[in-house]
Structure 1
Amino acid sequence: CFTGDTLIPLVDGQSYPIAELAESQKEIITYSCTESGRIVAARAIARLTRHQAELVKVVLDNGEAIKCTPDHLFMLRDGSYQVASELQPGTSLMPFYQDSDRDGYTLIQQNYSSRWQKAHWIVARSGLLGNVPSFAGQKTVIHHKNFNASDNSPENLEFMGDRDHSAYHRSLIERNTYWQSSEFETKRKNALAAKANTPEGYKYYSERGTANILQYMQERPEHFRESVAGNGQRGKQYLINYNLSEKGRQKSQEIANRLYRCETCGEQVKSPIGLHNHRKYHHSYNHKVVEVVALAEKQDVYCLAVPEYGNFALASGVFVHNCGMAAVKTPYSADQLEGKLKKIRSDLEAMIPVGFNDNKDVDKTAGNWQGWSSFKDLHKGVQDLKSKAMKQMGSLGGGNHFIEVCVDTENQVWLMLHSGSRNIGNVLAQCHINSAKELAKMTNTYLPDPDLAYFVAQSPAFSAYWHDLQWAQNYARHNRDVMMARFKKIVEKHLAGGKPMKPLLEVNCHHNYAEKEVHFGEEVYVTRKGAVRAQSEDYGIIPGSMGAKSYIVKGKGNAHSYCSCSHGAGRLMSRNKAKNQFSLDDLLAQTQGVECRKDRGILDEIPGAYKPIEQVMENQSDLVEIVATLKQVVCVKG
């Protein structure tokens, strides 16, 4: 997450401080990058994520410096991600280059091709204007309604046929008396003459004249042939004389020595091909990290949620990952849920696979995840599971995983979900556990129990394990993003007629994970099993059972707990014991008032099988403070 002054480029042609975007609570449209390197326009929401967070400064070779939390993920040139604190000097980041042409249109350089594309067509090709129409006998163009060529907000763009577009602009001129006056005509001619005397203007009118001649040749070929008969002989001697003249020699030399400025380092290079090669061999087409500096200061930090693509561009010229979401405070009130709980649950169970079920197809949001590009680098034991992993992206799983609609003590509606890295995460873990056991046997390492097998830090085996662990954690994060996006649409459909909502608060909460952190002056690896991070002002989620309360909390940064707190109530008994001890009548009684399954298939998740959440919260009052107390009204279990 980033400090409030971090600039975010939007499609309207402006860059805004992320804190300002968060304060507005409005949906924005920014730029994202797909796994293949194609830059697209994407909907996003900015939000405050943490108060007084620890910071690092990432310095780039273009002179930009980015202040962010040490754990924020930066997109590398190959489409994978790395946390800020582990970026090394020379690390190549996925670049974001933008410029404007002579007419003021915003240009974006596509990373997959290095070609510049007009931003309004990026917006259109991203589907934000609907289907691109065709116009009989005309070329489809995009009109900027407010005549600001750099404002590519969808509401400012309109498809038109090219001739209709030209006619529209002519009609505006004809309706304006000043534009018909001799005063304006004189100014217009002087402006055109001045422009023609500049290198840019000369190039513009040359290209425009060439286009007009080509059009004339196509539309009136007979007249053209008659008009140019004999031109070759007449022009031949003229060209010879011109090329031999001092003016001609100077022009040829000027063209040969024309320089093009590199937007990364400012160096001037001869010819467009020379600039292309310069970028390739000197910058690898991207910004590189110069250094990462730990900062003593702390600040409030912010992030964007970009559900469809999972990343966004910074004005400093790189792409970064967005934050996952696990709880959303909506603008809806509890009374809006009346009579709709069963329908919401039905839609959730239809749209989000649970248990061992997968999505039938890989949807766009899941397929766009950048993590797929590094799947080939995972443990060889999972290489045949990519298709399954892609279909499970956006599915809940089983056990204690859940999707819930909750109501807080102020009758505000919340959306909450709990899920992980699905089958691919489990198989990856088993592969590395087996590798550790084999390694212990090979080295004759004594272990009280085989399950205590381990890797030595910084060893190749440990590095491979750590890489795969980070991949699985990122998979889990994006899995939540995909599900939450569907969850929100379902609730919006039933409570707001499909109109997108503006969340009042969103909380991202990683659990059952490992991270490299600094505690008591030492860099250590912290594994939080059944726990979440609770650094000072960290938002977190502590859910109860399916019939009990849940809590949104803020961490107190208790050093003795390694800045951690519990992730939930925790079980009182095993699943088998719960099935033997409780009856279906017990389940009905303990989940009264909650729209959920009430069958033997989820008897092991009965509230009585869990510790009282109120007692759990009291026992960790020195670790977190309660921000909101929630009660489930809809619960979907795996």
Structure 2
Amino acid sequence: MNKHQLLKMGLPDDCVPAAIQAVQAAVDAGVCKGKQGPDYVRRILTDPAAYRDDPVFGDLARAIQEGNEEAPRREPIAYRTWGEAHIEAASHAQMRQACSLPNAVGGALMPDAHVGYGLPIGGVLALEGAVCPYAVGVDIACRMKLSIVDLPPEALVNEKLRPGLEDALERGTLFGTGGRWKRRQEHSVMDADWAVARVTRENKDKAWSQLGTSGSGNHFAEFGLLTLDRPELGLEAGEYVALLSHSGSRGTGMSVCSTYSAIARSKLPKKYGEFGYLAWLDMDTEAGQEYWAAMNLMGDYAAANHDVIHRNVVKLAGAKVLAGVENHHNFAWKETHGGRDLYVHRKGATPAGKGVLGVIPGSMASPAYVVRGKGNPESFASAAHGAGRVMSRTKAKEKYTFRAVQKDLEKKGIRVLSAGADEVPGVYKEIDAVMREQQDLVETIARFDPKVVKMCGDGSKAED
């Protein structure tokens, strides 16, 4: 009995593996002989309900029965939007589809929202008992880290001092999709259990070689001027030099997402085929638990990635760290909201629980803000993760020439060491407009103005 024979008798394609396993199990248990297998499959196809509780053929019967059922048409659950004027219709379409998932409990759309895969960037989605790999994102645990250092502010503009900061950025990290160190960096995260999933175990060497690198797309490392209008972060009010970075879990995180999204899609009942990239994994399954463990390992790895970047760059700059702030986005957290335990996905959204600190960046020419969350329950204690794109990377490359933008920014006191035309300021929303739209989500406690910027300049494909 092979796949062709099973399909010819009318068995749905996605039920073939279950049929082959069931017949083999029946033969091994002495329930039937191999040549009787097709007859059993025909009987189950005719009346799957009669075999639902059968110890051998029950899984096959339930799979067939489920495939015959039509998905209940569910109206999308309500979600609140911040910054409606800045969000295009396509992002709302994606959000409505996500809010139609059978396990969706709540959602929110942040003012920096734009179209992504499955869930829009800037989307917050709360699921009950399930996790969705593409609602977390490709670059799992993409992260912000800011370190305030003991250098004098004039180092950012002084022609004798600034080259030291430029050199630290050039030598302290690597950029690009395939960026790897020839000599491994050290961090305790590599002593963790990388065998939580096959994909993490097989990618450990890659992860080690990419530890302390910054990827491509909108990843960056930059020095800038941090302004504290009042005492904060254990520091007096005033101006400070700070290092800000944006990177994630690199190639290994992408592999985790791709692997488990494919598994989720393969397990998606035919009646839910419309959800595609929004395929989910139930948390009471082995695949769901594996993804959760791998995702959390990628969170630890992304944090370590930034630790190494800051350790290298700060040391090369001859400085010491005075204080710091950091946070994930592109992640899922198990949280309690409204008395229910939920899996809250923040894809391009910043955790903003009451009192929680975070960093929301603008662009290479506009400020980033250090914020403190207000814990707004309507946003599931979330806020924007940046300015948000208004232009695709393809259109940006058609419209802008990086060298021209680089020269213009130099005149304005911003030195861009490398970047692509798809990351110039004109491709982003105005960060101050985004911040005005979320005053009920976060309060601003400091402003960071970029002065020396390093991004990927080789044109490699973005990872997030």
Question: Scaled by the length of structure 2, what TM-score is found?
Answer: 0.61
Asked if 1:539 corresponds to 2:357, the answer is yes
User: What SS is found at the alignment partner of 1:451?
Assistant: helix
In the TM superposition, 1:257-272 aligns within 5 A as none
Report the alpha carbon displacement of residue 333 of structure 1 after superposing the two structures with TM: 2.9
1:430 aligns with 2:258: yes
Asked if 1:596 is matched to 2:422, the reply is no
Deviations 1:198-225 (A, max 9, x none): xxxxxxxxxxxxxxxxxxxxxxxxxxxx
Pair 1:360 & 2:182 matched: yes
Matched, 1:514 2:357: no
Does residue 481 in structure 1 map to residue 302 in structure 2?
Answer: no
Q: Are the equivalent residues in 1 in contact too, given 2:406–2:415 (CA < 8 A)?
A: no
Q: 1:464 deviation in Å?
A: 1.1
Which of structures 1 and 2 has the bigger CA Rg?
Answer: 1
Q: Which residue of 1 aligns with 2:394?
A: 576
Q: Secondary structure at the match of 1:329?
A: strand
**2:245 is the counterpart of 1:417:** yes
Aligned pairs (5 A) from 1:109-258: none
Would you say 1:623 and 2:445 are equivalent positions?
no
Give % identity.
33
Displacement of 1:331: 3.2
Residue 131 of structure 1 corresponds to none
C-alpha contact (below 8 Å) 1:569/1:610 kept by paired residues: yes
Q: Distance in 1 between matches of 2:275 and 2:338?
A: 30
Q: Given the superposition, is the C-alpha separation of residues 515 and 360 from structure 1 closer, same or farther in structure 2, using an over 3 Å criterion?
A: same
Task: Evaluate the alpha carbon distance shift between residue 437 and residue 325 of structure 1 in structure 2; reply closer, same or farther with a 3 A threshold.
Answer: closer
Q: How far is the alpha carbon of 1:346 from its aligned partner?
A: 2.4
| More displaced stretch, 329-338 vs 621-630 | 329-338
- The 8 Å contact of residues 369 and 445 in structure 2, kept in 1 or not, is answered as yes
Offset of residue 550 of structure 1: 0.8
Q: Which secondary structure state, in structure 2, belongs to the residue aligned with residue 509 of structure 1?
A: strand
SS of 2:450 mapped into structure 1: strand
| Residues in 1 aligned to 2:144 and 2:343: alpha-carbon distance in whole angstroms | 24
The residue identity in structure 1 corresponding to 2:180 is: D
Match of 2:444, SS state, is strand
| TM-score, scaled to structure 1 | 0.45
**Counterpart of 1:164?**
none
Distance in 2 separating the partners of 1:620 and 1:325: 19
Residue 350 and residue 336 in structure 1: after superposition, are their counterparts in 2 closer, same or farther (change >3 A)?
Answer: closer
Higher relative contact order (CA 8 A, sep 6+): 2
Question: How many angstroms apart in 2 are the aligned matches of 1:566 and 1:530?
Answer: 7
Q: SS where residue 333 of structure 2 aligns?
A: strand
Q: 1:481 to 1:361 in 2, by over 3 A?
A: same
The aligned runs of 1:92-111 (5 Å cut-off) are none
Q: CA deviation at 1:381?
A: 4.0
Which of 322, 326, 331 is the aligned partner of 2:150? Answer: 331
Aligned in 2, Cα 1:336/1:345: closer, same or farther, shift over 3 Å?
Answer: closer
SS in 1 for 2:327: coil
Contact 1:590–1:606 (CA under 8 A) maintained in structure 2: no
What residue in structure 2 maps to residue 607 of structure 1? 425
Instruction: Return closer, same or farther for 1:586/1:635 CA change in 2, 3 Å cut-off.
Output: closer
2:447 counterpart letter in structure 1: T
Partners of 2:354 and 2:218 in 1: CA distance:
28
Residues 335 and 373 (structure 1 numbering): CA distance in 2 closer, same or farther, change over 3 Å? closer
For 1:564 and 1:632, locate their aligned partners in 2 and report how far apart those are by CA, in whole Å.
Answer: 25
Unaligned runs of 5+ in 2: 1-142, 228-237, 457-464
Closer, same or farther in 2 for the Cα pair 1:554/1:405, shift >3 Å?
A: same
Question: Which whole-Å CA distance do the structure 1 matches of 2:343 and 2:253 have between them?
Answer: 19
Query: Which residue is equivalent to 1:342?
Result: 163
Distance (whole Å) between structure 1 residues aligned to residue 275 and residue 341 of structure 2 = 28
Q: Does 1:406 align with 2:224?
A: yes
Deviation at 1:328, TM superposition (A): 1.6
In structure 2, the CA distance between the partners of 1:572 and 1:373, relative to structure 1 (3 Å rule), is: same
String of CA shifts for 1:244-269, please: whole Å, max 9, x gaps. Answer: xxxxxxxxxxxxxxxxxxxxxxxxxx
1: CA distance, partners of 2:417 / 2:147: 23
1:407, 1:632 within 8 Å by CA — same for their partners in 2? yes
Opposite residue 349 of structure 1, the aligned amino acid is: E
Distance 1:419 1:617 in 2: 22
CA distance in structure 1 between the partners assigned to 2:406 and 2:306 by the alignment: 28
Cα offset, 1:342, TM superposition = 3.0
Kindly indicate whether the alpha-carbon contact (under 8 Å) linking 1:596 and 1:635 is maintained by their aligned counterparts in 2.
yes
Q: Distance in 2 between matches of 1:535 and 1:349?
A: 35
In the aligned structure 2, how far is the partner of 1:395 from the partner of 1:615? 31
Contact preservation (8 Å) 1:531, 1:566: yes
SS of match in other structure, 2:274: coil
Tell me, in whole angstroms, the C-alpha distance in 2 between the residues paired with 1:325 and 1:397.
Answer: 13
1:381-392 correspondence runs (5 A): 381-392=199-210
How many angstroms apart in 1 are the aligned matches of 2:408 and 2:144? 32
Secondary structure at 1:524 match in 2: strand
Change (3 A) 1:521 1:629: same
CA root-mean-square deviation: 1.9
Cα distance between partner residues in 2 of 1:390 and 1:408: 32
**Who is 1:585 aligned against?**
404
Instruction: Decide whether aligned partners of structure 1 residues 395 and 448 sit closer, same or farther in structure 2, where only a CA change above 3 A counts.
Output: same
After superposing on structure 2, the runs of 4+ consecutive aligned residues of structure 1 that deviate more than 3 Å are 381-384
Q: 2:270 aligns to what SS in structure 1?
A: coil
- AA aligned opposite 1:610: Y
**How many correspondences in the alignment?**
299
Deviation per CA, 1:67-107: give whole Å up to 9, x if none: xxxxxxxxxxxxxxxxxxxxxxxxxxxxxxxxxxxxxxxxx
**2:342 partner amino acid:** V
Change (3 A) 1:502 1:393: closer
Contact 2:223 2:450 in 1 (8 A): yes
Tell me the secondary structure at the aligned position of residue 195 of structure 2: helix
3-state SS of 1:593 partner:
coil
Residue 590 of structure 1: how far off its partner (Å): 4.3
Output the amino acid matched with 2:211: M
Instruction: Check the 8 A contact 2:370/2:447 in 1, yes or no.
Output: yes
Deviations for 1:448-487, whole angstroms, at most 9, x for unmatched residues? 1422221123222211111111111111111111111112
Q: Distance in 2 between matches of 1:553 and 1:433?
A: 33
Shift of 1:325: 7.8
Match of 2:270 in 1: 444
Instruction: Name the amino acid aligned to 2:168.
Output: D
| 1: CA distance, partners of 2:368 / 2:149 | 16
Quote the residue 1:216 is aligned against.
none
Shift, 1:446, TM fit: 2.5
Q: Which amino acid aligns with 1:329?
A: I
In 1, Cα distance between equivalents of 2:171 and 2:147: 21
Task: Deviation per CA, 1:503-527: give whole Å up to 9, x if none.
Answer: 0x31121111111011121111111
**1:376 to partner: Cα distance:** 2.1
Cα shift at 1:347 = 2.8
Q: Which moved more, 1:328-337 or 1:468-477?
A: 328-337
Displacement, 1:357?
Answer: 1.4
Q: 1:512 to 1:520 in 2, by over 3 A?
A: same
